[in-house]
Amino acid sequence: MAVVAQPKPPAAVLEEPPDEVKQRVRELGAALDEAIPKRALDQNLLIATWNIRHFGGLTEKWETEEGDSPKRNLADVRAIAEILGRFDVVAVQEAREDLKALRHVLKVLGPEWGLILTDVNPPPAGNGERLAFVFDTRRVKPSGLAAELVVPPAERRRRGIRKRALDKQFVRTPYAVSFQSGGQTFILVTLHVIYGKKAEERTPELAGIAQWLANWAKRVSDEYHQNLIALGDFNIDREDDPNYQAFTSTGLTPPPELREFSRTITDRPGEEHFYDQIAWFVEEGEAKLTMDYTGHAGRFEWTKHLLHDVDPDEKSFRISDHYPLWAEFSVRE
């Protein structure tokens, strides 16, 4: 009688990983220690954004084998969790309808971590994506607001959005959530701007978002003394191109410390892209924030520490094709 081999049960992300995975995560942690400021309770706040490519399904193995789909495995999840866990709140783009990989990341981060996310933006225009916030509830707590930014046609003129800026509604509606940390309230607005066939297709959406946020920022700053920060994947190719000018047209200003960093793992010198941004409103040289930006911001170049022997395309599906960006704020009273 022939013996039929039984399939191996899926590995569990919280089980003891192979030694090489533990070593890889330890080395990644050491690199993060060098690159990211330490978190201090009621002292600082680390806000980040990361487009994690096709953040959906998962192969429940410690090592991806030929023919496996998706390519992302449990070791990759451990690495993603190690990176996310260095920040207080992270805006994540490209979460998918299938939340398996994200749910496994949260298991690794532990019960103290929270998740707020949108429903699926349906394909083809929305690409089946969600926008999400992952946050450490020991340091950051939701303060009540969670809203998708939809501007009814009748409201556009009243809110000062110029004609034709939003003839099309947002493809993936920006998502705003308010948080509290160290006595400070802040609203994070995350978005993933339409890419389109040509760069100029993004300009109206970026201009509309900038105008809408400017009106909202003034109201929450003047009436509620809250901070508004926009972050996410703005699909901006160059710092001085028309899309960057549309994005910054109403005073949204990224920290200068991020200007030198390309955002994607395949960029070459002289051909950098500046898709991802963290920005807040600046008026006459003064940030419209009640919490202080410390002057520390950066990009974590994870490709220096992970998947050295993997080609860029597979690397992008295992971890991402983007680097995370972060900025540090003071929340001292």
Contact 329, 292 (CB under 8 A): yes
- Flag whether pLDDT at 264 surpasses 80: yes
Evaluate whether residue 3 is within a structural domain. Answer: no
Contact 331, 182 (CB under 8 A): yes
Query: Would you place residue 159 in the very low, low, confident or very high pLDDT band (cuts 50, 70, 90)?
Result: very low
Instruction: Say whether 157 sits in a helix, a strand or coil.
Output: helix
Cα three-residue angle 154-199-302, rounded to 5 degrees: 110
Q: What is the pLDDT of residue 288?
A: 86
Which residues have a Cβ under 8 Å from the Cβ of 320 and sit 6 or more positions away?
A: 50, 51, 52, 53, 265
In angstroms, the CA 82 to CA 95 distance is 18
Total structural domains in the chain?
A: 1
In angstroms, the CA 257 to CA 211 distance is 24
Lookup: tokens for 283: 């008026």
Nearest to residue 46, comparing CAs of 328, 333, 332? 328
Evaluate whether residue 1 is within a structural domain. Answer: no
Query: Would you place residue 5 in the very low, low, confident or very high pLDDT band (cuts 50, 70, 90)?
Result: very low
Taken in order 289, 263, 314, 125, the sign of the CA dihedral is positive
Evaluate whether residue 151 is within a structural domain. Answer: yes
Q: What is the pLDDT of residue 4?
A: 43
pLDDT tens figures, 72-112: 999 999 999 999 999 999 999 999 999 999 999 999 999 99
Evaluate whether residue 165 is within a structural domain. Answer: yes
CATH of the domain at 301: 3.60.10.10
Nearest to residue 128, comparing CAs of 65, 55, 219, 41? 55
Evaluate whether residue 37 is within a structural domain. Answer: yes
Phi, psi of 162 (to 5 degrees): -70, 160
Instruction: Say whether 127 sits in a helix, a strand or coil.
Output: coil
What is the residue range of 304's domain?
19-330
String of DSSP letters for 1-46: -PPPPPPPPPP-TTSPPPHHHHHHHHHHHHHHHHHSPPP-TTTEEE
Query: Would you place residue 59 in the very low, low, confident or very high pLDDT band (cuts 50, 70, 90)?
Result: very high
Instruction: Output Rg (C-alpha) for the chain, integer angstroms.
Output: 20
Q: Which residue has the higher pLDDT, 25 or 213?
A: 25
Lookup: tokens for 219: 């109201």
* Stretch among 3-17, 56-70, 292-306 having the lowest mean pLDDT: 3-17
Nearest to residue 170, comparing CAs of 189, 154, 153, 194? 194
In angstroms, the CA 214 to CA 318 distance is 37
Evaluate whether residue 320 is within a structural domain. Answer: yes
Nearest to residue 178, comparing CAs of 133, 233, 242? 133
Full-model pTM: 0.89
Evaluate whether residue 181 is within a structural domain. Answer: yes
Evaluate whether residue 7 is within a structural domain. Answer: no
